[in-house]
Amino acid sequence: MFAYLTRRLLLSVAVLFGLSLLVFAMVNLSGDPVRLLLPPETSAAEVARFRTAMGLDDPLPVRYVRFLSHAVRLDFGASIQLRDPALELVAQRLPATLALAGLAVAAAVLIGVPLGVLTALRRNTPWDTVITSLALVGQSTPVFWVGVMSILLFAVELRWLPSSGSGTWRHLVLPVGTLTLFLLGGLVRVTRTSMLEVLDRPYVRTATSKGQLRRVVVWKHAFRNAMIPVVTQIGLQMRFVIGGSVITEQVFAYPGLGRLLVNAVYARDYPIVEAGVFLVALILIAVNTLVDLSYAWLNPKVSIA
């Protein structure tokens, strides 16, 4: 276990270094933020002074070395627009995104896993056909379209829920529901496929032939062994909702990290983009590590040494 964690730590450092180089190059080559911040009539001398004050007049390699020397101390500088520490601004938005992601994944697991088990136990029945068909439709429908339609129905027509913003649990219903609907499709299908594979194995048939109760065979013998692909799918979904919640946050004007990063990209606010990508990468690395560790708990035969 210790050897595995050591290797994962070293690999994570390499990944973060490569990611920092890629993001730094992309955001710095995308345009000049000085021209966005200053009025068009600003003189060349004033533009030059402002660029020097912001540290944007040095060559790109010099600026990257300076950025990296500060980043290892978790200092990403101040936001070009807001002039507040970039990491502090990102950390303020992170809880909102984690709440959105956590609730969506939890709802998808609580609904999708039982439905997947049900469709496996009722294979080739109307239950199976209806649930898998709805799961396929939910997975195929664009998230932004579901979000817009839910706003029109529940916020505009019925006036049951707010259409945007945050502050109360009612503001979370529509964005969480939109993400959950998309996540359910993949989770139901993976759970169904994995359960069908396990239910056809000899040890499950042997347990059934010995007269054990059906629920004992399903939940004690089959369910746990079918969970490795399901846990993998949950990890993928967590990565999606944390790293790809931009669309949902934009549709519902939700003040999360994804919306902050989109606005920072448009404004070429390099420190916020770099701090946000770094923090998201750390979270995703932690999620991947936890998913790998769960394999050994679900199946002792799996070695992660």
Mean pLDDT of all residues in 88-108: 88
- Distances in Å between the Cα of 280 and the Cα atoms of 8, 162, 252, 288 are 17, 28, 21, 12
| Cα gap 291→56, rounded to integer Å | 41
pLDDT (0 to 100) of residue 36 = 64
pLDDT (0 to 100) of residue 283 = 85
What does the pLDDT look like over 196-232, one tens digit per residue?
888 777 777 776 676 666 677 777 767 777 888 888 8
What residue type is assigned to position 104 of the chain? A
| Cα gap 107→183, rounded to integer Å | 9
- With the C-alpha atoms ordered 288, 293, 296, 302, is the resulting torsion angle positive or negative? positive
Orientation angle between helical segments 60-71 and 270-298, nearest 10 degrees: 50
Strand partners, 85: 78
pLDDT (0 to 100) of residue 196 = 85
| Sequential DSSP letters for 57-68 | SS-HHHHHHHHH
Under CATH, which number does the domain 95-256 receive?
A: 1.10.3720.10
Q: Does the pLDDT value for residue 302 go beyond 70? A: no
Residue 282 pLDDT class (50, 70, 90 cuts)? confident
pLDDT (0 to 100) of residue 1 = 65
Q: Does the pLDDT value for residue 31 go beyond 70? A: no
Are 79 and 86 contacting, i.e. CB atoms less than 8 angstroms apart?
Answer: yes
pLDDT (0 to 100) of residue 30 = 65
Domain ranges of the chain: 95-256
